[in-house]
Chains A and B, each alone.
Chain A
Amino acid sequence: MKIKVCVNGQWYEKFIDIRISLLEFLRNELNLTGAKECCLVGECGACAVLVDGVNVNSCIYLAAWADGKNITTIEGIEKNGKLSDIQESFIKNGAVQCGFCTPGLIISSTALLNKKSNLTKFEIRRGISGNLCRCTGYQKIINAISEVDKNKCNKNEQ
């Protein structure tokens, strides 16, 4: 099957095997290995990407479904070689340890921050509840997201 898909701002037209997931398409066909392969059943969130701005697990998303859609992976989050606010905040707050969950968490945080601002701790916890991390214990991740959210709100007020 032939699909036409926009990944990180660039259009691709590719013949794909109908059996592959979006994750396999991104990693094997486009060499975008930022989205991680982990549980493969949609439980850990390491493979999260944005499809038309919506956060999904690419491991349980057929590549065929991506036809005509806009995909953003972790590689597309930085702009012109500059890390996004949330990426900077993760580094600053020590929210990255082994780093395996990080791409998925950055994607989920981005989706969350795009959707809403002035987030409560509960909303942040809920927003990243589809992503598992085994090293940081989440607090630093929550701090990192909270910081970006607060800075954004302050900027808007000024």
Chain B
Amino acid sequence: MYQLKSYTETNSIYQASEILINNENAMIIAGGTDVLVKMRDLKKSYIDKDLVGITRIKELNEIYKDKEENIIIGSCVNFTKLEENEIILKNIPILAKSSSLVGGPQIRNMGTIGGNICNGVTSAESASVLFALNAKLEIENINRKKIIPIENFYIDHAKVLLKQGDILSKIIINKKDYEGFKGVYFKFAPRNAMDIATIGVSVMLKEKNNKIEDIRLAYGVAGPIPLRAKNTEKLSINLELNEKNIDIICDNVLKETNTRNSWRASKAYRDNLIKVFTKRAILNLIGVDYEN
């Protein structure tokens, strides 16, 4: 039996937000694959809560393209849907790929992309990919709606920019942020399923005449929050895509990451993984089969 105080199923964002604003003890639950596990562990801030269910809110379960061809993903869309959705597969296959690497089938059937981000953990499969996609997040409450870049959403480990009453409703990927790009996501983990990433690498690349026109390098588990290697990105523009330059890029990335020792892997190991996987990703994107 879970130690929870009450449960309310809501069917609109307004209703959910209202409950949250009027009750300090209320907490959102989406797929539950994280919240219920923490509740079972009797984590202090997760017990005796008034849970507010939001997964039955219709608009949070949609994936579509708007008039400007921006891709809109509702926050309660689960990973199985992301993995199989036509719009995602066609336009941003990198997100379909990373979604397919989350947990096992049962977890992917329940876990939501919004929950994955709102946890604020750096190892979240969708996080580094959304960083690489320059995703924007729409946050709503009863008074207002605001759109912020995902980079501003993460404050610290397990801490995100949500005040009581705020609900992450949509994830927006603008056309200019996916069109013309090729992307690849690598997850390094000891097993092939039910694993938390040791390192997650997302690379989006736009090339022209074998030169880098635009590149985005995003990492999970390379610091307390997901991060982008922005200086390296800047210095990579217009570089010719050869092995020497790619090695320079990979070495440079380490100046911007901030890995740590943990029981899963040492700092040295993680740094090496970042280098190897960044190289593998770039080579993969320019069609070179790389095994090292």
Contacts and interface: CB of A to CB of B under 8 A. Distances in A.
A56 B7 contact: no
B109 A60 contact: no
B193 A61 contact: no
A104 B136 CA distance: 39
Contacts of A54: 80, 109
A43 B194 contact: yes
Interface string A122-135: 00011111110000
Chain B residues touching A, range = 20 to 34
Nearest to B195: A129
B37 A111 contact: no
A79 B192 CA distance: 35
B229 to A, nearest CB: 31
B107 interface: yes
B105 A19 contact: no
A64 B7 contact: yes
Interface residues of A, number: 33
Contacts of A43: 194
A45 B110 contact: no
A18 B6 contact: yes
Interface in B1-56: 1-4, 6-7, 9, 32-33, 36-37, 40-41, 53, 55
Contacts of B109: 54-56
Contacts of B104: 45, 129-131
Given A18-B7, A45-B104, 6 more contacts: A17-B1, A43-B194, A62-B7, A126-B105, A127-B105, A130-B104
8 contacts: A20-B1, A40-B40, A62-B32, A65-B55, A108-B106, A111-B105, A112-B105, A125-B192
